[in-house]
Structure 1
Amino acid sequence: MTSADTPGPAEPADPVVRALLDVDGISAAPDATLAELTTLRIGGRPRALLECATAEAVIAAVRELDAAQRPVLVLGGGSNLVVAGGDLDLVVVAVRNQDLQYSDAAGDAAAAGEHLIVRAGAGLNWDDLVADTVERGYGGLECLSGIPGSVGATPVQNVGAYGVEVAQVLHRVRWYDRATGRDEWVTPDALELAYRTSVLKSTDRAVVLEVEFRLTPAGRSEPIRYAELAGRLGVEPGERADAATVRRTVLELRRGKGMVLDDDDNDTWSAGSFFTNPVIRDEVLPEVRNRVAKKLGDGPAGQMPAFAAPGGTKLSAGWLIERAGFGKGYPSSSSPARLSTKHTLALTNRGAATADDVIALARDVRDGVREAFGVELHPEPVWIGCSI
């Protein structure tokens, strides 16, 4: 290699990555670590990190890296990841397109009481989108306020909170199919959306580029189905409310549980709800109640939250975790990784935690719930270079 061919100090060593820097909308972030880019504040250093400001830049980066057989991590807001430390054998493609467009028929839709469509770039901060829709007087996304991450991640895991899931308001998704090389818009049925999952979760099938959602121009919320939220709002379950009021109330509830990101509060340094609410077969429910009764008594067994769900009965992961003996702040104030002091479903980084610390805590909680009640908890985050 001649001196002219030698990469400069700020240039990536990988020739494929260097060539991508000539593409409009692509830039490199030298010396970046995943700890700087994930809400859990954990993760090592990738081979390179490419910031992609447009959908076309995302496509170009993923296409060329796939063709060169480079391991790729497509990164949005970093809110649902547990990443190993050290040097990571992968190139990060950071999706940063943030375009926002409302349908031209907004005025006509409002007059007719119909839905309108908002189209958002996958790299747009999710709560910024929610805030903008509510400020414009549109309803539909308000119950999903305060959820960290990017727009592109929401259909991947069918994000949901306070009785609303993305599946209820999703109109279309634009994705880049990595197998076929097609850039196309698809309807929700193509995603096979289910509880906190889709065909895109934990796979490399496609990259989300843009997302369209249905909104209600009248400024009324989605039906309020979550009992705690309905009580705070003073409405009956199933009723609608003012979208702005719902957003404020949801944010208050989330802050009370440490579920709104705050750089100065380690209780919010998490991947959100770490375990999904388990769904068990209906015939297993009596045995679970029996085990709760043996451990806690008949009263708690009868009061255990249980709801009908596709495939059986849905239980509360947070309720099971606490009743298995894992209280808020577990295991101790000196631990680098521990449960939030506000919400037992959040595993938090107290400032110096590693992936190994988080994994050890997650296994402790998972195994403890299984031993106590015979229920298997499943983690919600995506694992990069490590596993539970």
Structure 2
Amino acid sequence: MHTLDLPGLAADAGAEHAAGAALAGLTTLRLGGRCTHLVTCADTGSLVAVVRALDAAGVRTLILGGGSNLVIADEGFDGAVVRVATAGIDVDGTLVRADAGALWDDVVARTVSAGLGGIECLSGIPGSAGATPVQNVGAYGAEVADVLERVELLDRRTGERHWVTPDALRLGYRTSVLKHRDDALVLAVEMRLRGDGLSAPLRYGELATAMGGEPGARLPVDEVRRTVLGLRAGKGMVADLTLDDDTPDHDSWSAGSFFTNPVIEHADLAGVLGAIAARVGGDARVPQYPADGGRAKLSAGWLIERSGFGKGYPGEGSPARLSTKHTLALTNRGAARTAELLALAREVRDGVHEAFGVRLVPEPVLVGCEI
């Protein structure tokens, strides 16, 4: 790290530099130690210049967006953390362009206010726009893949900027070719939405029921957004919620859904359902949804609860607990350490596997730590 003048680099690129910065406050879990350097880039030009310079110098680098899908080790990060703080949002007809650092819910709110439909079901999801194609972010039956037009990337191997279409990203359930790799950095996303003021067809039963509609209905985008925000808040799945006395709602100190819903191969499904029947009872209604290749997607939250892990597990006094509203979220109750959160994640993962033979996979990116 001493071969590069980080303060000088940040100033030259129009960015801001801080040495030894705490990372916990930059993540929705409020977990993680300090980094050696933090460089904040408020425009795409400075972001590209900083990342190019760090890569050319061989400096270990972590790109940080909204911090909503990230678990950072208690030891922090020995290197340079580049915080993407670009925030531009442009609406041109039905085409929406957002800088990678734009808060995702700001993007959704802007489109809804413009009467555009397509991402209203993704309201309230914390984090930045640049993370959405990486994770193929989705909720309530919708996902970014439904509307994505193209993505601007910085190829960190060559330093070149270029646009790619969704087929190049191999978007799947909560994944893409960009996940778990760092040689391509999202700079901006473009989406094509609907211009008639109505939502995409409702695909999720809970949402349709809450709105008094039928699956497949198209309803006013502002009403759908309001309903989704209410549903998410009821599960503690909106960042920075507060209680009636204005104290923090620690159920919202999470990384959202900590585990992805498991996708079971067709050949394995009968065995899993048999294990569920043996533990829960043969008349149990197991939530399952069709997945690609004849596979079945099961509800991770349902499996967690039936494995003996209830809301708020392991109970009062534990610094890391399952949300009191939604068992799929692991939460920091205000004084947790990353190691404690990961110990809970390990216990839940192993408990589900022991009960049903299903291995849950964490959704957040783990930095300097593992389950």
1:52 aligns to what? 41
Aligned-partner Cα distance in 2 for 1:87–1:161: 30
TM-score, normalised to structure 2, is: 0.96
Q: How does 1:63-102 map to 2 (within 5 A)?
A: 63-102=52-91
CA contact (8 A) 2:13 2:50 kept: no
Q: How does 1:194-233 map to 2 (within 5 A)?
A: 194-233=172-211
CA contact (8 A) 1:40 1:269 kept: yes
Q: Answer yes or no: is 1:32 the counterpart of 2:21.
A: yes
CA RMSD of aligned residues (A): 1.3
Q: How does 1:128-277 map to 2 (within 5 A)?
A: 128-262=106-240, 264-277=248-261
* Residues 317-326 or 205-214, more deviating: 205-214
Q: How does 1:279-290 map to 2 (within 5 A)?
A: 279-290=263-274
Aligned-partner Cα distance in 1 for 2:308–2:14: 50
1:370 aligns to what? 353
Match of 1:307 among 272, 289, 309: 289
Give the number of equivalent residue pairs: 364
Corresponding residue SS for 1:29: strand
Aligned-partner Cα distance in 2 for 1:165–1:147: 12
CA contact (8 A) 2:76 2:368 kept: no
Larger radius of gyration: 1
CA contact (8 A) 1:16 1:64 kept: no
Query: Cα deviations across residues 194-220 of structure 1 (Å, max 9, x unaligned)?
Result: 100111111012111111111112111
1:354 aligns to what? 337
C-alpha change, 1:249 and 1:213, in structure 2 (3 Å) is same
Aligned-partner Cα distance in 2 for 1:205–1:158: 18
Unaligned runs of 5+ in 2: 242-247
Structure 1 residue ranges, 4+ long, deviating more than 3 angstroms after superposition: 12-16
Q: Answer yes or no: is 1:61 the counterpart of 2:44.
A: no
CA contact (8 A) 1:16 1:65 kept: no
CA contact (8 A) 2:117 2:199 kept: yes
Q: CA deviation at 1:222?
A: 0.8
TM-score, normalised to structure 1, is: 0.92
Unaligned runs of 5+ in 1: 1-11, 107-115
**Amino acid paired to 1:118:** V
CA contact (8 A) 1:179 1:205 kept: yes
Q: How does 1:321-332 map to 2 (within 5 A)?
A: 321-332=304-315
CA contact (8 A) 2:32 2:76 kept: no
Aligned-partner Cα distance in 2 for 1:241–1:339: 34
1:293 aligns to what? 277
Q: CA deviation at 1:13?
A: 6.6
